Structure 1
């Protein structure tokens, strides 16, 4: 809920205080505020299919909630919570912003022209960092229940009977 609230608050401030399509330098060319309404996905891809993004975000939010039900790992809970907050931030825009229900445009306002020609928002930051964190948790073997892959591999190895080894006298 904190991520969703922070995202929507940043978008509210953007709409109320920033001019549309005009760069406002924060740290020169390094960081700028640039208010746009994005009907598409990243880099405005698929801008004529806004409703598809609404469906996709709804499905992703549902899967995150479904997976989060059995989570026992605090780290997984935080990562999934941040990811869900980001998804819900952009889904809220799709559902409630102009031009209408389920086809709303996402408010973007953060620009780093030296890095990417993309303009993004707080929700996007949490979605990207959340997905990177998910990948890292999977690679390190931390399971949703808080156990590690290596713990399960050790259990599997202990469960199998030891192999018979012939001694020199038996050979």
Structure 2
């Protein structure tokens, strides 16, 4: 095999690509199955809210914006946000293939990709992101979120940890 073919294979498929893309698929499927369950079986969209505990409710909000419902958009805006999520997901998959050097990074990138694609599909299919989890305490209500949002936050947290905390391998090489 010539070097050009090997270089293109490395660009598309790194050592941790299978792990990261598997996590992305699992996060995406978990999010979409949960949304299907909430909307088709529980029919949560027909209820105001379901009180689960003194600090947690199940609700249905269709978020047409981005984080914390900022930049509310209808119509073409949903396609724009979905396209942006797809571009970011592809860029992160390429970054994983080129730079992925740890399991934590692969898992984190996979969580972000799966969550972003789950929310993008909502925008295209439902006209907005379906949010269900509502936590509250002492009159303060945290913005509703879903499994995709939780995956994205966990992925960003994992990436920050992986990028900021030196690995044992790197620390051993410096000693």
What interval of TM-score do these two structures reach, taking the shorter chain for normalisation?
A: 0.7 to 0.9
Aligned residue in 2 for 1:109: 132
For structure 2, the 5+ residue unaligned runs are 1-24
User: Which of the pair has more CA radius of gyration?
Assistant: 1
Aligned residue in 2 for 1:2: 26
Q: Which has the higher relative contact order, 1 or 2, with Cα contacts under 8 A spaced 6 or more apart?
A: 2
CA contact (8 A) 1:18 1:35 kept: no
Does 1:94 pair with 2:123?
yes
CA contact (8 A) 2:49 2:59 kept: yes
Q: Distance in 2 between matches of 1:53 and 1:123?
A: 15
Higher helix content, 1 or 2: 2
For the aligned residue pairs, the C-alpha RMSD in angstroms reads 2.2
Q: Distance in 1 between matches of 2:169 and 2:82?
A: 34
Aligned residue in 1 for 2:64: 39
**Number of corresponding residues:** 143
Deviation of 1:151 (Å): 5.7
Q: Distance in 1 between matches of 2:134 and 2:35?
A: 14
For structure 1, the 5+ residue unaligned runs are 99-103, 156-171
Q: Distance in 2 between matches of 1:19 and 1:91?
A: 20
Q: Counterpart of 1:4 in 2: which secondary structure?
A: helix
1:8-157 matches, within 5 Å, as 8-16=32-40, 17-20=42-45, 22-28=48-54, 30-48=55-73, 49-70=77-98, 71-95=100-124, 97-98=125-126, 104-114=127-137, 116-142=141-167, 148=170, 150=171, 154=174
Q: Distance in 2 between matches of 1:128 and 1:19?
A: 24
Q: Distance in 2 between matches of 1:124 and 1:107?
A: 10
Q: Distance in 1 between matches of 2:121 and 2:169?
A: 34
TM-score, reference length from structure 2: 0.72
